[in-house]
Structure 1
Amino acid sequence: MDQLDVVILSALEIDTDFNVNVITGSDGVIRGASGGHCDAAAGAKLTIVVAPLVRGRIPTLVNRVLNTVTPGKSIDVLVTDHGIAVNPAREEVKARLEAQGIQTFDIKALQQRAELLVGTPAPIAYTDKIVANVRYRDGSMLDQIKQVAK
């Protein structure tokens, strides 16, 4: 995985710090496994996440993801149907895109657009019960998934 030039990944959610959630849906329920998402993202020279800005009435781009699976430091570019955002840590990527006439947007501006289109979802109520641990490629704990309250 550490020899990839470019990787294109998807996301259930991505936040304004470029953190990605691929495990829990907008309702907080586990949808599946990460399938090496954080490994591929960290191992590539250029990591692109492609996702719609909104899915139905739910924003994909949010202020903070429900659960972090891939840290934002591993994500370089977000491509949505409403525009492209480049991680500020990758200014050279932004400059190359813009030199080719490709417009980029601040990720917070895109997130505000998502909010304008569909509003802000109500917060999810959780219990204190931890149902899963999310571990990074080095084994460190990234996040914990809590049980959704009934």
Structure 2
Amino acid sequence: MKRCLNNVMVSLMATLMMVMSIQLPYAHAAMVSTEQILEKQQTDRQRDTVIAFLNRAEVQQELQQQGVSPDEAKLRVASLNNDEVEMLAGKIDALPAGGFVGTLIGAAVFLFVVLLITDILGFTDVFPFVHPAR
């Protein structure tokens, strides 16, 4: 019995020593600079800008017309690296505020003003409320 107990104890100790000798990776700690934190925050803001753009109704409608699910597009944005997100957010920021609708309204106002001026000068007769200067 004593011999059996010794064998069990020796086996247990040998197993314990093997488990303790396994090399576990150590945690690596380093200082984080302010620039790294600011860069991470800026990238997060840019990623949020792109996601907010994708959440707009007209963008989602256009994505669906192109055959892309809005959720799939958001997953693709999440998988972009920092440089790609920065480039995409820069393009979104460069777009006009009204987009196509703003351009269309601007063109309509410009056309109205041109026709109004030509009506006042007597070259055209488009608007009945304008009396040409003769």
Range class of TM-score, shorter chain: under 0.3
* Higher relative strand content: 1
Larger radius of gyration: 2
* Higher relative helix content: 2
What TM-score results when the alignment is normalised by the length of structure 2? 0.19
What TM-score results when the alignment is normalised by the length of structure 1? 0.18
Structure number with the bigger relative contact order (C-alpha 8 A, sep ≥ 6) is 1
